[in-house]
Chain A
């Protein structure tokens, strides 16, 4: 019984996706839509198949850059969360500054970073870290502060040191929040990489996208989009998988989730 609900959910998601693609194909065929306006799913699939080696090659560049960005972002995010949590003044001092960095549009910041740091890897990584560190830092900071007060009181009563409280209570208690942040970062990071690649450079799926767009190769543009979406989904899935590996103590809440549909 417990396994039926998730299975049904998966079937529904897959079904609606398949139906969407089918309607799309049908619309293209019935109204004879020009491929350069809206290519049919079949055309897109063929565009992917025709240019497969190059797409995969470009995707590889994007994947590497995204992994580097997420990795650095997570490192900075966790470091910032710990710094803000452990030293109270820092939070008040730096919060406005960080909010500012999150509100400068990427398309404005990108060219500036290129002016300052050249066309190399550096401006792209800075852009990525700026995007990736924030969700991790903010979620984890909230998680660190929300450790259960009963457990906090217990550790105080037995005389545990500040370090022990951090290690045995606050860090493990902040893991669920950390993974919430990581999933957000994983989802954002891919589109941030695309922006970074679109800004400059000669590799990556973002660059491929620009080329196809300039050549009015709409099926090629869609082929790139499919790759980007697939990569983003894979990133999110990997983050969710890591979460499931790391947080095994939580009682499975299949019933609660299954109740949504009822």
Chain B
């Protein structure tokens, strides 16, 4: 950076140099402030149902990736529409009701690990616009159940990209 400032400063000698340095400094600080503000308001939290409940009102309006298992017999498909409702549970037994917009992916079913992205509503259910199923591409003998790695799916990237339906 010293090189840039030196050259910028060499536009004219003396005071101008310090002025240019100062301007660059102010611009840098301003940019950092904008960037950090941008990060602060766009954080996506990776939570399980227990952490979600513990967060209380903080969870309302925040962007959250909620991970857990789909509870047996809890899936209700919207009649005519493409939405779906279900409960998500974690190891501690905490349940959260999820309303998800859009068509669920092929692997979506009971007792499978899912990650939903969205936010908590005041009404007490989780409103999701993206539904992802945690995959494991390692080969298993058919019929052998394997623990779905929900935590890894939360950190998910392109391989599991669910569709954002906004």
Partners in one complex: no
